[in-house]
Structure 1
């Protein structure tokens, strides 16, 4: 299970999806529904974008979750959480969560290091650059880029 906000999905996310797809028989890409957080895109938009970019991978499906990731993993029989790491600070942030998830549920976390060409890409930076009129086409899949420009 590859959880995330995906607001919007980036080329880094797509790379993790592709690599997880090659490593596992089935991958669930799930976007969080947390209503308390302000998002640029609705959950329906994020699901649609993820579904489109994951379409080439026959063993990937898209879902949503609200609450604990491990509860979603249990409900879906997902034994591994996949997380992409761009920097050491991502590792510092993700490691305690991975350890807690394992303690709560027995679900392991697999860290996938970012490909160098994606290591600096984040959804937050993409949104900020796009809002200020900067070029972001190289950082998101084409369909996401079109949706991003139409939304801003």
Structure 2
């Protein structure tokens, strides 16, 4: 049986923490779909198309990883993609409480969908997209928090602002 995992998120921007989880999931599952959520309520810095392109560039060397933008309910997207597993990153206890609620809701909406919680490697536990954007916006060095092409995209974005 082929097992397809879905790793959803806004990825605004994709961080080394996200990339670490994707690469580790790619070793565990036959296929991993990085599901880039439109999520307009978050008012992302990058458009959905830009976030998809940045993620595709990060994983173009991984044959069992694909990147797809989506809007709407994650449980429905997972069903359309024939995904059996949701990958969720958990950095701290506060993350777990929220992720536990999401997992329960997603299971209620799609009973065939299981959630797997993964912790980031120690060097990535404090990284968040929000913090990366703030550091970069104020001229700080984000090179150790994001892939090089994402760093360049962030710098271009703030140079235009």
**Aligned twin of 2:50:** 45
Equivalent residue runs for 1:1-152 within 5 Å? 1-106=6-111, 107-152=113-158
Q: Give the deviation of 1:34 after TM superposition.
A: 2.4
Q: Give the deviation of 1:37 after TM superposition.
A: 2.9
Give the Cα separation in 1 of the matches to 2:117 and 2:42. 25
Residues 60-105 of structure 1: per-residue CA shift (max 9 Å, x gap):
0000111110000000100110011111111011001101111221
TM-score normalised by the chain length of structure 2: 0.92
Give the Cα separation in 2 of the matches to 1:97 and 1:34. 15
Alignment check: 8 A CA contact 2:38 2:48 kept: yes
Alignment check: 8 A CA contact 2:49 2:69 kept: no
TM-score normalised by the chain length of structure 1: 0.97
RMSD (CA atoms): 0.8
Q: Tell me which moved more, 32-41 or 47-56.
A: 32-41
Q: Tell me which moved more, 3-12 or 33-42.
A: 33-42
Q: Give the deviation of 1:36 after TM superposition.
A: 3.4
Unaligned runs of 5+ in 2: 1-5
Deviation >2 Å, runs of 4+ = 34-37
Q: Give the deviation of 1:117 after TM superposition.
A: 0.3
Q: Give the deviation of 1:55 after TM superposition.
A: 1.1
Give the Cα separation in 2 of the matches to 1:49 and 1:140. 11
Q: How many residue pairs get matched?
A: 152
